Structure 1
Amino acid sequence: MSSSASQFLFRRGLIAAGVALATGALAPAAMAADNWPDKPLHLIVGFPAGSSPDLTARALAEPLEKKLGQTIIVENRVGAGGNIAGDYVAKATDGYTFSVMINGNMTIAKLLNPTVRYDPVKDLQPVSLIGVAPLVLVAPSSAPQGKAFLEAAAQAGSKWSYGSPGVGTVGHLGMELLKSRSAIKAVHVPYAGYPQVFNGIQGGDLQLSMLPPALAMAQIQAGKLHGIGVTSAARSPLAPGLPSLKDLGIANFDLEIWNAVAAPKAMPKAHVEKLSAAVSEIVRTPEMRQKLAIQGWQAVGSSPEGLENRIQQDVKALGTIIREQHITAQ
């Protein structure tokens, strides 16, 4: 073949390639992202039916079906505080499996228990936040208010006790974080659950605790507990009238419980971003905001990057406490 003929064929190939790119014939990955999902998705929940994560997942599933045009099958894979589901999702490779998780399953699971079979930071992809809530620092109804209570707690030293629903729970870690940033030295007493913690405060065995706002505010409004402040950086609509601990002089204190959507590392980035945009938009609708508020959450959709920032913040703060106090949940 002559040199001129070869150049002609080369130029014709470039033109054909340009036409193919313009029409999408050479962009199968982009087309695949546009067509995804083209079959039902599986939404995994690590807690039983009727639990808060389950209710959130089912509230999200219906509008997400309409948004994505595919059936969402909610599956409960219960056990190990949500970590069985976390491990299942982390190892999924089908590109159609994702999960609604609580913050512990996406941040400190392996730090608390090295036997956990997945590493949430390495094996999961953040998709979008769903809802956030502070914890509420509570005390007996006879306790002093605000800064006066924190001063009394500091003066009491190890004579005071605080309760949590178990070692490694956010109520436990939150109190240890407070102790690390104040002069409080209260001793930890683990209980079977939050109702038992409440009974411990009522019975005089405990002097303080951190409770979820839905539980705390009902008891505060009934006059059975006194609310000291919330653990978020600012006041929260979920605990009206209460200051933040930061307002009360606890420097750099910002801790919230949250739930979010997570995906396996194997899910393509384009699909993660499409799922994130859908979830974030749904979470911001008035209907979903109302449903989440009833469940005790302040609706907060986010980008994958926004959720990643929240994960890093929690791992840094709580991971430090776990390592310094040698806390394990085995």
Structure 2
Amino acid sequence: MTTRRSFTKALALTSLLSSPMTRVFAQTQYPNKAIQMVVGFPVGQSSDIGARVIAKAMADELKQTIFVDNKPGAATIIAHQFLKTAPADGYTIAFSSTAPLAINPTLYKNLPYDPQRDFDPIILINFSPMFLVTSADMPVHTLKEMLAYVKANKETVNYGSGGSGLTNHITMELLKKQAGIDMLHVPYKGAPPMLSDLMGGRVQFAFEVVSAVMPMVQAGKIRVLGVASMERTAAAPDVPTLHEQGLTGFESGTWGVLLAPKGTPAPIIDKLNATANKALRTPEAMEYYARNGATPRGGSAKDCADFMKAEREKWAPVIIASGAQVD
């Protein structure tokens, strides 16, 4: 039989378990089980590999498993929808990047997620600048020579990309706008066929990340004209930046961030941020990023949020001007 006294004790216990103090206690024990890191790209793709590097380093620091769960498809929309609806308890996070967070919001008419409304940024992981490249057979060696070539051959010059709306496509649109030139865009289904046609002369210029082009650069088949960053990259220290060559402030690249569902408690975000900052300084992570021409970033969760906002604001007018849109 339930007495008034036992009922009162049970009510008091329920109140205690749901109190802010109890929730804080639970967060101080975080993490006490495995963490799922969602990745919207296939196994073996560069973003997947980068996510696994940071997941392992963070797991070592936390002394807890972090397992990568690949959910590719629909331009990463599937993965971001999954994260959006996941519990905001720190046990589901995601590795995301430039296109899903800075390009898709303007590119897609009906995107089922909003980066600012639906996610809490944890940390900016890395930045990989775009390389402006051409065939080694082209009579062009600098940005100045490229611009002169395009203006002299404007009816026949094309540029390639791995697909409409990808970072390399939108980066060339930004260059066109800033430099006052025009070229026809030829989209491909991925970087390999595009780079094959670049070497064959069917498209004349392209932007790509260093990991995609360096083997062909080293083989003497592709020439790098400039790097889309404010400082030269360790992967190609002799190649001048486009900023150095006259495109003031020109910076573009792919970047990676960690996200959590909106409403994840601040102490959990802070712990994940501190752990990721330590992970980025491990020898394994630094070697991986250096090898792939990327720069580890880090910083606070607010730094990450500010960076993402600036990137969305930078790319939105460029995407609109390009006419690229997906229903």
Map 1:14-53 → 2, pairs under 5 A? 27-53=21-47
Q: Deviation digits for residues 275-323 of structure 1, max 9, x if unmatched? A: 0110111112222111233344322222112212221221111111112
Find out whether 1:222 has 2:219 as its counterpart.
yes
**Which residue does the alignment assign to 1:190?**
187
**Which residue does the alignment assign to 2:95?**
100
**Which residue does the alignment assign to 1:145?**
141
Q: CA deviation at 1:132?
A: 1.3
Query: Contact (CA 8 Å) 2:57, 2:282: kept in 1 or not?
Result: no
Q: Which stretch shows the higher mean deviation, 116-125 or 165-174?
A: 116-125
Instruction: Give the whole-Å Cα distance in 2 for the aligned partners of 1:31 and 1:302.
Output: 26
**Which residue does the alignment assign to 2:123?**
128
Instruction: Give the whole-Å Cα distance in 1 for the aligned partners of 2:306 and 2:256.
Output: 14
Find out whether 1:87 has 2:81 as its counterpart.
yes
Instruction: Give the whole-Å Cα distance in 1 for the aligned partners of 2:268 and 2:99.
Output: 24
Q: Which stretch shows the higher mean deviation, 126-135 or 142-151?
A: 142-151
Q: Which stretch shows the higher mean deviation, 27-36 or 256-265?
A: 27-36
Out of 259, 265, 288, the position equivalent to 1:268 is 265
**Which residue does the alignment assign to 2:228?**
231
Q: Deviation digits for residues 125-160 of structure 1, max 9, x if unmatched? A: 111122211111011213322122222223333431
Find out whether 1:329 has 2:326 as its counterpart.
yes
**Which residue does the alignment assign to 2:49?**
55
Instruction: Give the whole-Å Cα distance in 2 for the aligned partners of 1:223 and 1:97.
Output: 44
Instruction: Give the whole-Å Cα distance in 1 for the aligned partners of 2:322 and 2:292.
Output: 32
Mark the structure with the bigger radius of gyration.
1
Counterpart residue identity of residue 34, structure 2: P
Instruction: Give the whole-Å Cα distance in 1 for the aligned partners of 2:292 and 2:243.
Output: 25
Call closer, same or farther: CA 1:220–1:143 in 2, change over 3 Å: farther
Q: CA deviation at 1:46?
A: 0.8
Instruction: Give the whole-Å Cα distance in 2 for the aligned partners of 1:245 and 1:152.
Output: 16
Runs (5+) with no aligned partner, structure 1: 1-24
Counterpart residue identity of residue 134, structure 1: P
Over aligned residues, Cα RMSD in angstroms?
A: 1.9
* Sequence identity percentage: 30
Instruction: Give the whole-Å Cα distance in 1 for the aligned partners of 2:166 and 2:122.
Output: 24
Instruction: Give the whole-Å Cα distance in 2 for the aligned partners of 1:238 and 1:329.
Output: 34
Query: Contact (CA 8 Å) 1:93, 1:266: kept in 2 or not?
Result: no
Call closer, same or farther: CA 1:329–1:240 in 2, change over 3 Å: farther
Structure 1 residue matching 2:153: 3-state secondary structure: helix
**Which residue does the alignment assign to 2:7?**
none
Counterpart residue identity of residue 125, structure 2: I
Instruction: Give the whole-Å Cα distance in 2 for the aligned partners of 1:240 and 1:228.
Output: 13
Which one scores higher on RCO, CA 8 angstroms, separation ≥ 6? 2
Find out whether 1:210 has 2:210 as its counterpart.
no
Instruction: Give the whole-Å Cα distance in 2 for the aligned partners of 1:239 and 1:114.
Output: 38
Q: How many residues align?
A: 306
Q: Deviation digits for residues 148-174 of structure 1, max 9, x if unmatched? A: 222222333343100001110111100
Query: Contact (CA 8 Å) 1:133, 1:257: kept in 2 or not?
Result: yes
TM-score, length-scaled by structure 2: 0.88
**Which residue does the alignment assign to 1:314?**
311
Query: Contact (CA 8 Å) 1:106, 1:124: kept in 2 or not?
Result: no
Counterpart residue identity of residue 277, structure 1: A
Call closer, same or farther: CA 1:48–1:211 in 2, change over 3 Å: same
Instruction: Give the whole-Å Cα distance in 1 for the aligned partners of 2:228 and 2:204.
Output: 17
Q: Deviation digits for residues 99-128 of structure 1, max 9, x if unmatched? A: 111221222222211232111122111111
**Which residue does the alignment assign to 1:13?**
none
